[in-house]
Structure 1
Amino acid sequence: MKKRSQYREIEDFLEDESFRLWMRSKKDVDGWEEWTLEHPKRAKLVEEARLWLLAMKVPNDDLSQEEVDVALQNAWMKIEKRERESKMEIQLIQLWHTGWFRKIAAIFVIGLLSFYAYTKYFTAEQLYYDYSQIVKGLDEDGLLEQINNSNRPQIVTLSDGSSVLLQPKSKLSYPKVFTGNERKVYLSGEAFFEISKNPKKPFFVHANEIVTKVVGTSFRIKAYANQSDVEVLVRTGKVKVNSEKNVDKTSQKEIVLLPNQALRFMRKERTFDKITDITTEKSISNSVRSIEQLSFEFTDIPVSQIFKTIEQAYSVEVDFPVKKLENCHLTTSLSDQPLPEKLKIICKCIGNNTTYTMNGNQITISTKGCN
């Protein structure tokens, strides 16, 4: 056997049992570590032999020359494979540094991202059916549109005497005059409706994917385009809620709501959740507004106090001659009346040719005093 000082090839180290023992079990019985340090020129060869030995994964220490050759061949095949992979990586890196390849790669990545965005967002949004889609193509009917871009509610008075308290960031489309045997309006956002009674001419509110049908009642609808749910809450009377797709058909999904009941429509799932007691739903009960809480039943109440109640409920300002009405008390029920009807009843009760005018959220009372 050759002496270590005569080792010139990797095979020489691999055939050495003590070298293999040192490499595999760290048992340096023959001082390999010291020898390597004393012969720094052979350190690289020792390291290569170690790597080959690891690559061969020889199961025992009794190696014949034939076994060494087979092991070396297997190791060489592994090394060639690694070199090919390394060259491929280098070629890819070089290719990446070419301008045209980067452009193609960028287009490919953008395409993938666009496809992902389309499937995740655009396709998902097609599940929704909102205000813009509903009113599209209805301009020929001469719809008016009220958009509330202010930070306070706005009163909208409809041609039939119904009133709508439109909340900020909300829109309402409605005809200048209701014709035919139906009254239809279109909502995006939130609004409180007080509908004048007319059994022969039902009132419909289209809000996202649902339609609310009433004859004469007061209720609130919350239907923002970017929110996943639509909510309907009834204060007085009775409403029927249906899916927009089933509005012209007889549907078992029609939901009837009575006072202090609510409904939540989950837009993605297209399912209804009826809430028979709104006090059990914190999200709904906490959102109840002044107009839904205040009582409009008045018994011998100063007219000034009645006007304050109206101001608080509708976020309006009522200008009236305080001195002329300071001793005026009224007893009346205004609970199930739209705002214009409330004002008419108050003016009739005051008498003396009392009238009102309404300009946006400003109400002016003209009177000579209380009867």
Structure 2
Amino acid sequence: MKKREQYREIEDFLADESFRMWMKSKNDTDGWEEWTLEHPKRAKLVEEARLWLLAMKVPEQNLSQEQVDAALQNTWMKIEEKEHENKLEPKLIQLWNTAWFSKIAAILVLGLLSFYAYTNYFVDQANYSSYDEIVSNHDEDGLLEQINNSNKPQIVTLSDGSSVLLQPKSKLSYPKIFKGNERNVYLSGEAFFEISKNPKKPFFVHANEIVTKVVGTSFRIKAYANQSDVEVLVRTGKVKVNSEKTSYNSNQKEIVLLPNQALRFGRKNQTFDKITDITADKSISNSVRSIEQLSFEFTDIPVAQILKTMEQAYSIEIDFPEQELLKCHLTTSLSDQPLPEKLKIICKSIGNNSSYTMNGNQITILSKGCN
């Protein structure tokens, strides 16, 4: 069996058992998603293979792997027998070995397998909206894109002071400068948002089939392209969620979420499920991250301890003069502030011309000590 790094054709992926199982069960035990991110040149082939499987809706329906492999083998044997019976000319045999003809053969194999399966396993892709489609349908010029191909969250700071903690295997598109009366960003994957307050300029996050509207708050959105649900979890403030295809100026009722409430949007049936008690939902409660759990309310707490809390919450590194800040304590509330604003408040509270710089996930605080 060829190693996946050697795959050059769609049928290479279609014939791979672990690839088929990934597409069918969404259980990525063999690291296909990570491998695809590490090999962007293969991403197009992976996507084409996925679309062929989805188009033909070929799940297992209680078939064992031996049965699947036997069906594949029998199909190829029939094709070879047909070739022999027809006594194909050398030119036609050569044609059989070309890449495009092999693709057709692979498709025929999967088509025969569909007789062994039912057609309701895969989520109906017809109603799906892709990240690329949503971005291309909006008129903003000069969008920047941040792609997190690392294994750690990344901080993205927007022009309005808002901050986004972008999780691995996720990407965010956003304008260099927000113009007009709205602030629009586009997400594929998972991110935690802390939005700078501006009631006159609402903030919109477009993620798959839903759009989340906020003024100033913190919340998490989980919207991976290959998952059947989109989730929104509010930590502070209030958000309003609606369908991407529904204008906020229409009469369709939007769903309002308050702190510690969540929403699950089923992409197949276009359904909204509001969750008022996230502790009762195992999927939601088990996915809560540090930044959503840690408190940013501090009463006479050493500055060094506050900075350590921020390092843990944001998965960042903060370099600061420990000796100079050793005796510095703060009483402050940072719960509803983006990361840059948190740092500004801390530096201003310390005084003595304290300042900070940010370079990705690396933050440096300069200070001669507290006042």
* TM-score when normalising by structure 2: 0.69
More contact order relative to length (CA 8 Å, sep ≥ 6)? 2
Q: Report percent identity of matched pairs.
A: 76
2:293 is matched with 293
* Alignment pair present for 1:99 and 2:94: no
Alpha-carbon displacement from aligned partner over 1:45-79 (angstroms, at most 9, x marks no partner): xxxxxxxxxxxxxxxxxxxxxxxxxxxxxxxxxxx
Task: Specify the code of the residue in structure 1 equivalent to 2:233.
Answer: L
Separation of aligned partners in 2, 1:124 and 1:130: 13
Separation of aligned partners in 1, 2:359 and 2:203: 25
- Alpha-carbon spacing, 1:94–1:146, altered in 2? closer, same or farther (3 Å): closer
Separation of aligned partners in 2, 1:112 and 1:342: 59
Tell me the CA shift for residue 112 of structure 1: 5.3
Task: Specify the code of the residue in structure 2 equivalent to 1:99.
Answer: K
Separation of aligned partners in 2, 1:294 and 1:120: 42
1:244 is matched with 244
Task: Specify the code of the residue in structure 2 equivalent to 1:265.
Answer: F
1:226 is matched with 226
Alpha-carbon displacement from aligned partner over 1:319-352 (angstroms, at most 9, x marks no partner): 0101100000000000000000000000010001
2:16 is matched with none
Tell me the CA shift for residue 353 of structure 1: 0.6
Separation of aligned partners in 2, 1:94 and 1:244: 50
Tell me the CA shift for residue 115 of structure 1: 6.8
1:7 is matched with none
- Alpha-carbon spacing, 1:193–1:257, altered in 2? closer, same or farther (3 Å): same
2:154 is matched with 154
Tell me the CA shift for residue 247 of structure 1: 2.7
1:315 is matched with 315
C-alpha contact (below 8 Å) 2:197/2:216 kept by paired residues: yes
Task: Specify the code of the residue in structure 2 equivalent to 1:239.
Answer: V
Tell me the CA shift for residue 209 of structure 1: 0.3
Tell me the CA shift for residue 111 of structure 1: 6.8
- Alpha-carbon spacing, 1:116–1:138, altered in 2? closer, same or farther (3 Å): farther
1:170 is matched with 170
* Alignment pair present for 1:208 and 2:208: yes
- Alpha-carbon spacing, 1:305–1:266, altered in 2? closer, same or farther (3 Å): same
Separation of aligned partners in 1, 2:326 and 2:273: 49
Separation of aligned partners in 2, 1:151 and 1:272: 31
Which structure shows the bigger proportion of residues in helix conformation?
Answer: 1
1:177-196 matches, cutoff 5 A: 177-196=177-196
Moved over 4 A (4+): 93-96, 100-103, 105-123, 137-140
Task: Specify the code of the residue in structure 1 equivalent to 2:85.
Answer: H
C-alpha contact (below 8 Å) 2:296/2:334 kept by paired residues: yes
2:278 is matched with 278
The alignment partner of 2:323 has SS state of helix
C-alpha contact (below 8 Å) 2:317/2:362 kept by paired residues: yes
The alignment partner of 2:127 has SS state of coil
1:360 is matched with 360
- Alpha-carbon spacing, 1:137–1:247, altered in 2? closer, same or farther (3 Å): closer
Alpha-carbon displacement from aligned partner over 1:87-133 (angstroms, at most 9, x marks no partner): xxxxxx99971235999x99997675677899999994232102111
* Alignment pair present for 1:258 and 2:258: yes
- Report how many aligned residue pairs link the two structures: 279
Quote the RMSD (CA, aligned, Å): 2.9
Tell me the CA shift for residue 149 of structure 1: 0.5
Could you tell me which runs of 5 or more consecutive residues in structure 2 were left unpaired when the two chains were aligned: 1-80
253-262 or 110-119, which deviates more: 110-119
C-alpha contact (below 8 Å) 2:197/2:217 kept by paired residues: yes
1:85-96 matches, cutoff 5 A: none
C-alpha contact (below 8 Å) 1:211/1:242 kept by paired residues: yes
Separation of aligned partners in 2, 1:281 and 1:205: 24
Separation of aligned partners in 2, 1:218 and 1:123: 30
C-alpha contact (below 8 Å) 2:302/2:328 kept by paired residues: yes
118-127 or 231-240, which deviates more: 118-127
Alpha-carbon displacement from aligned partner over 1:151-175 (angstroms, at most 9, x marks no partner): 0000000000000000000000000
C-alpha contact (below 8 Å) 1:211/1:247 kept by paired residues: no
Task: Specify the code of the residue in structure 2 equivalent to 1:203.
Answer: F
2:64 is matched with none
- Alpha-carbon spacing, 1:217–1:95, altered in 2? closer, same or farther (3 Å): closer
Could you tell me which runs of 5 or more consecutive residues in structure 1 were left unpaired when the two chains were aligned: 1-92
Tell me the CA shift for residue 250 of structure 1: 1.7
The alignment partner of 2:312 has SS state of helix
Separation of aligned partners in 1, 2:241 and 2:258: 11
C-alpha contact (below 8 Å) 2:123/2:268 kept by paired residues: no
